[in-house]
With several copies, the nearest count.
Chain A
């Protein structure tokens, strides 16, 4: 094995968290193309020997995680922290993810309920964070997602989010509008 692949493996193992491209370049003291090559080789190697580990591109960096195929075994360790989110929390988090930056009031308008507690729970879990303040009356806080969020959902970056279902309202044409005005008469 390429000595640098070993180094890459050791560094990713030690970090635990995603290591950025830039940090890897500096640590391994190589250039971009060489790093790409190393990452490719390493990923290939893990696949070939059906390793217990896998290389993931997450939250703007690279990280080692266990291979999902061995989840049954890993599960028996009982090491999992309960990351389960309630349906309400998941809905709220989805709205933040797709609509960021967004205020609490705007989320409440969409969900039709107060979300005080859910928001503080999401903040506590470091899935969302304050981004700043909106330039309107009361200067409400704007929220967005965090790197922890990307990690929990296995996302490379926010561009990696799933497609949001199309807003059907846009498909309401002028004719439809007239049509249902007539119907309601």
Chain B
């Protein structure tokens, strides 16, 4: 009786128990005596039960599968016809599953050995090497100049007395339309700073309020991928779809232009 309990605990699942029974009885996998296999399988489950070992649902499902195959085998077969060829042996799926499981069981033994061999070669923990950022390989001179122009423009806006700035009126609605149309021209996305290309304070303020308004209306969103990263403005996809149907960005753009 003790022998059983030892055996029972070895099986990790119904596939393994099946393989054990097939090996033990030297069963030809291509011609499984399904009735006796089912009988032996269920016998094992009974022993599990008598030792109060929990039988997981997987074992029960396999038992049911075996019983089902057994009953299908007992059904009278229709006379041989062409259609008959297509009707698989009721055991076919089970055979395939056992063979497939066998492949991985075998290869997992090889893998185990490989891991043991590699386990004999010890490696070291990486040394603590400080991360050092390198400059990008290529930078655009144009962007450098533009960045400087931008600095000066903002600087001038912030510092110059208002009298030196020409009076121009900008409305938030105007800026909202302009921003949406520019976004569509650029494929729905643009750099946050690129939005503020205006030179006068009132224009910058109008643009900024337009951005806030569009965010509130959930027409656009503003996001930053990481700290110190680029800030981007993007049109909400849903919004684009609902407002313009399935239209391609180009078509949307054309329509916008016509409206404007």
A–B touch (CB < 8 A): the answer is yes
Contact B123–A176 (Cβ < 8 Å): no
Q: How far is the CA of A118 from the CA of B228 in the complex (A)?
A: 9
**Does residue B64 face the partner (Cβ distance < 8 Å to A)?**
no
**Interface members, chain A 162-185 (any B CB < 8 Å):** 162, 164-172, 176-181, 183-185
**Interface members, chain A 127-179 (any B CB < 8 Å):** 127, 148-149, 151-155, 162, 164-172, 176-179
Task: Identify which of A16, A54, A79, A93 gathers the most chain B CB atoms within 10 Å of its CB.
Answer: A93
**Interface members, chain B 127-177 (any A CB < 8 Å):** 127, 129-141, 143-145, 147-156, 158-160, 164
Contact B126–A15 (Cβ < 8 Å): yes
Q: How many residues of B sit at the interface, in one of the four size bands?
A: 35 or more
Task: Identify which of A54, A56, A165 gathers the most chain B CB atoms within 10 Å of its CB.
Answer: A165
Q: Per-residue 0/1 for A102-126: is the Cβ within 8 Å of any B Cβ (1 yes, 0 no)?
A: 0000000111111001100100111
**Does residue A49 face the partner (Cβ distance < 8 Å to B)?**
no
Q: How far is the CA of A137 from the CA of B132 in the complex (A)?
A: 33
Total count of chain A residues near the partner, CB < 8 A: 76
**Does residue A5 face the partner (Cβ distance < 8 Å to B)?**
no
Contact A54–B121 (Cβ < 8 Å): yes
**Does residue B13 face the partner (Cβ distance < 8 Å to A)?**
yes
Contact B58–A113 (Cβ < 8 Å): yes
**Does residue A66 face the partner (Cβ distance < 8 Å to B)?**
yes
Residues of B contacting A36 in the complex (Cβ-Cβ under 8 angstroms): none
How many A-B pairs have beta carbons closer than 8 Å: the answer is 268
Q: How far is the CA of A66 from the CA of B154 in the complex (A)?
A: 51
**Does residue B124 face the partner (Cβ distance < 8 Å to A)?**
yes
**Does residue A25 face the partner (Cβ distance < 8 Å to B)?**
no
Q: How far is the CA of A82 from the CA of B136 in the complex (A)?
A: 5
Contact B135–A127 (Cβ < 8 Å): yes
Residues of A contacting B153 in the complex (Cβ-Cβ under 8 angstroms): 170
A61 to B: closest C-beta gap in Å: 12
Contact A80–B147 (Cβ < 8 Å): no
Q: How far is the CA of A81 from the CA of B137 in the complex (A)?
A: 8
Stretch of B42-50, B106-114, B234-242 contacting A (4+ beta carbons < 8 Å): B106-114
Q: Do A167 and B13 form a contact, CB below 8 Å, given A87-B191, A185-B77?
A: no
Residues of B contacting A110 in the complex (Cβ-Cβ under 8 angstroms): 15, 97, 100-101, 104, 151, 155
Contact A87–B147 (Cβ < 8 Å): yes
Contact B135–A152 (Cβ < 8 Å): yes
**Does residue A47 face the partner (Cβ distance < 8 Å to B)?**
no
Q: How far is the CA of A15 from the CA of B148 in the complex (A)?
A: 41
Residues of A contacting B110 in the complex (Cβ-Cβ under 8 angstroms): 162
Contact A179–B134 (Cβ < 8 Å): no
Task: Identify which of A66, A91, A97 gathers the most chain B CB atoms within 10 Å of its CB.
Answer: A91
Task: Identify which of B127, B135, B193, B228 gathers the most chain A CB atoms within 10 Å of its CB.
Answer: B135
Q: How far is the CA of A72 from the CA of B139 in the complex (A)?
A: 26
Q: Do A165 and B106 form a contact, CB below 8 Å, given A16-B124, A93-B144?
A: yes
Residues of A contacting B257 in the complex (Cβ-Cβ under 8 angstroms): none
**Closest chain B residue to A126, Cβ basis:** B135
Contact A180–B30 (Cβ < 8 Å): yes
- Chain A residues within 8 Å of B, Cβ to Cβ: 10, 13-17, 54, 56, 63-68, 71, 74-75, 77-91, 93-95, 97-98, 109-114, 117-118, 121, 124-127, 148-149, 151-155, 162, 164-172, 176-181, 183-185
User: Apart from A65-B122, A152-B139, A185-B77, what are 15 other A-B pairs with CB-CB below 8 Å?
Assistant: A75-B129, A78-B131, A79-B131, A85-B115, A87-B231, A111-B155, A127-B135, A152-B115, A153-B114, A154-B118, A162-B141, A165-B149, A172-B152, A184-B89, A184-B90
